[in-house]
Amino acid sequence: MNDRQATGSPVTDPPPADLLTVSDLHVDYAGRPAVRGVSLSLRRGEILGLVGESGSGKSTLCSAITGVLPAGARVRAAGLRFDGRELTELPPEDMRRIRASRIGVVPQRPMTSLSPSTPVLRQMRWYHDGHDLADLLAQVGLRAVLDRPRDHPHRFSGGQLQRLLIVLAALARQPDLLIADEPTTTLDATVQAQVLRLLLDLRDRLGPAILYVTHDLAVVAQICDRVGVMYAGRLVESGPVSQIFTAPRHPYTRALLAALPARTERGRRLGAMPGHTVAEVTLSRERGARAGSAGCAFAPRCPVVLARCHEEEPTPITMGTDVVRCHRAGETPEAEEDA
């Protein structure tokens, strides 16, 4: 059950079934781990935010779900279940067909996703799969595009193009899952707000689940039901937005939230925290693993680190609605400081 439903649904409602369940997913690039043992689930109509600093594995996780990893990437998973079917057990062609027809992807940079030499409206007609395009555009307040049949992509703003691409991804095929990997990175705050409103509108109208990757915690607070926090390829904490923002249990999540000057500030990206970069941490961890110790990847930067954290990697612990990977997850922050 997600946060929004939690406030309004009667207690007797059956729990909504998961649309997507990822179990113990690992992705390596030429032997270097990028995603390490990630498990998550996404329910129909739910928006799950994925946050974490650059290089933490967010895009790789999305690409593993859509099945479009570059050559040289190696994927292992205990399971990748989509709408009741185990994708890893299907013949590759069936897997590709399900992914292509039922998972929509909103690109990060709209300008580079369209052909520059063909009018936008014509490109939309190629892809929209026979729906009434005028109706689709009117539903989301973009009917005016129909009056511009000769305009090429460069005649549109980034925000207009992004909203058109979201319409294509979400309405034309009506996928069950939309993956949006930082779709507002290149947009200013006002246009970003329009794009977020459009996504919420589409979710409410059509009910796709949305996996929304962002560096911006304010966006998470605004549109997501649940959030997953990634660090060095691990999902270190996940849970309802209300829980994570008010009582984060992982020290990395707490550091991210503390770095926000005001919880309501818009447009702030997650900067790397002072100290080691993720790449340095991963390298030092790999050296540690070779030397026989493989502790928590966050230990070198952790303000509440224990000796144990350098030696033993924490396993995920379920605590109420949260799943946390931290040896100290059960302690209050005050107790951690006193220790």
Write out the DSSP string of 41-93: EEETT-EEEEE--TTSSHHHHHHHHHT-PPTTEEEE-SEEEETTEEGGGS-HH
Q: Does 60 sit near ligand ATP (CB under 6 A)?
A: yes
Q: Does 29 sit near ligand ATP (CB under 6 A)?
A: yes
DSSP three-state, residue 292 = coil
DSSP annotation of 214 reads: -
Tell me how far, at minimum, the Cβ of 51 lies from ligand ATP, in Å.
Answer: 9
Q: Which two tokens stand for residue 227?
A: 């959030």
Torsions phi, psi for 211 (to 5 deg): -100, 115
Q: Does 59 sit near ligand ATP (CB under 6 A)?
A: yes
DSSP three-state, residue 249 = coil
Q: Does 34 sit near ligand ATP (CB under 6 A)?
A: yes
Tell me how far, at minimum, the Cβ of 62 lies from ligand ATP, in Å.
Answer: 8
Tell me how far, at minimum, the Cβ of 139 lies from ligand ATP, in Å.
Answer: 31
Tell me how far, at minimum, the Cβ of 174 lies from ligand ATP, in Å.
Answer: 27
Q: Does 31 sit near ligand ATP (CB under 6 A)?
A: no
Sign of CA dihedral 180, 186, 188, 194: negative
Tell me how far, at minimum, the Cβ of 294 lies from ligand ATP, in Å.
Answer: 18
Tell me how far, at minimum, the Cβ of 93 lies from ligand ATP, in Å.
Answer: 24
Distance set, CA 33 to CA 28, 71, 281, 324 (Å): 4, 15, 12, 20
Closer Cβ to ligand ATP, 55 or 208, answer by number: 55
Closer Cβ to ligand ATP, 60 or 253, answer by number: 60
Orientation of helix 158-167 relative to helix 189-206, angle to 10°: 10
**Site stretch for ligand ATP (CB under 6 A), options 8-16, 53-61, 171-179, 252-260:** 53-61
Give the dihedral of Cα atoms 135, 139, 144, 150; nearest 10 deg. Answer: -50
**Site stretch for ligand ATP (CB under 6 A), options 50-58, 139-147, 197-205, 240-248:** 50-58
Q: Which two tokens stand for residue 59?
A: 């895009």
Q: How far apart are CA 217 and CA 214, in angstroms?
A: 8
Closer Cβ to ligand ATP, 72 or 84, answer by number: 72
Q: Does 245 sit near ligand ATP (CB under 6 A)?
A: no
Q: Does 184 sit near ligand ATP (CB under 6 A)?
A: no
**Site stretch for ligand ATP (CB under 6 A), options 49-57, 98-106, 111-119, 289-297:** 49-57
Q: Does 36 sit near ligand ATP (CB under 6 A)?
A: no
With CB under 6 A as the contact rule, the residue among 20, 25, 48, 56 that binds ligand ATP is 56
Question: Which amino acid, one-letter code, is at 317?
Answer: I
Q: Enumerate residues 67-126 that contact ligand ATP by CB under 6 A.
A: 70
Closer Cβ to ligand ATP, 123 or 238, answer by number: 238
Torsions phi, psi for 93 (to 5 deg): -65, -40
Distance set, CA 61 to CA 116, 218, 272, 315 (Å): 29, 22, 20, 19
Q: Does 57 sit near ligand ATP (CB under 6 A)?
A: yes
Residues that bind ligand ATP (CB under 6 A): 29, 34, 52, 54-60, 70
